[in-house]
Amino acid sequence: MCNDYEQHIAWAAYRRMMQELELGIPPHQSEFDLPQADDIRIGDLGPVMRVRGEHVELVQMQFGLPPAGPKGGPVFNFRSEGRSFANSRRCLVPASAFFEFTGKKYPKAKHRFTLDDAAFMAIAGLWREGTGNNPPAFAMLTTAPGEDVAPIHDRQVAVLRPAQWAAWLHLSLPEKELLRPLPGGSLAVETVRQSSD
C-alpha cells in the first residue's frame, strides 16, 4: 500500500485553491507550512490539512499512527470500507503524487500517480494528537482500487477531488460517497523506476 508520496505544491496554487473552495486559511500560515518533498515516507513529517475553528490549517504531522499495542509497527494505511468516521479526527493529506511499488527484489519498480485534472490532490486521512515528545500523527484511508491503480496494486488510497475536501473534513456526505475509487482515467500513472527483477 501507499507508504510514500510526493509534496510539490506551490503555495500560490494552494492558497488559490483554498480560496476557490471557500475553506479559509489562517492568516499566520505561509509557504513555510507547505514544505516541498520528493518522498514523504512512514515516520517522516508532512503537512496535513485539518479544521481549526473557521479555518483549515496546515499542521506538520508524522506519517503513521503509533501501534495500538506493544507489537507491530505504525499504522500508515487504514481500510475505509464499512466504517463510520463521524467521531474520528478527519484530515486531508495534500500531495502532488503518490507512489505504489511492484516487484519482489529491491529496488522495486516505482509507479507515480497524479490527479489528471487538478494541480494537486488530497488523500483522506485520520489524525491523532501526539503524546509525550511525539508530534501529532496521521494515516491515509484506503479503498478498493480503481481502474487506474488495479493493474499495479489491489488497494489504493482514497483520493479526493477538491470539490470533496470540505465534505470529508465536515463529513457532510456519507463516507461511502467520498471514500471510493475515482473513475478510470482520473489518475495518470508513470513508471519512474524499473524493478531489478
Q: Where are the beta strands (DSSP E) in 65-134?
A: 77-79, 90-95, 97-102, 109-115, 121-128
Q: Residue 69 pLDDT more than 90? A: no
Tally the domains of the chain. 1
Could you tell me the pLDDT band of residue 117, with boundaries at 50, 70 and 90? confident
Instruction: Give the cell for residue 161.
Output: 477531488
What is the pTM for the complete model shown? 0.95
Q: Residue 1 pLDDT more than 80? A: no
Range of the domain at 141: 4-193
- Tens digit of each residue's pLDDT (9 = 90 or more) over 6-48: 999 999 999 999 999 999 899 999 999 999 999 999 999 999 9
CATH number of the domain residue 84 falls in:
3.90.1680.10
Return the pLDDT at 197.
65
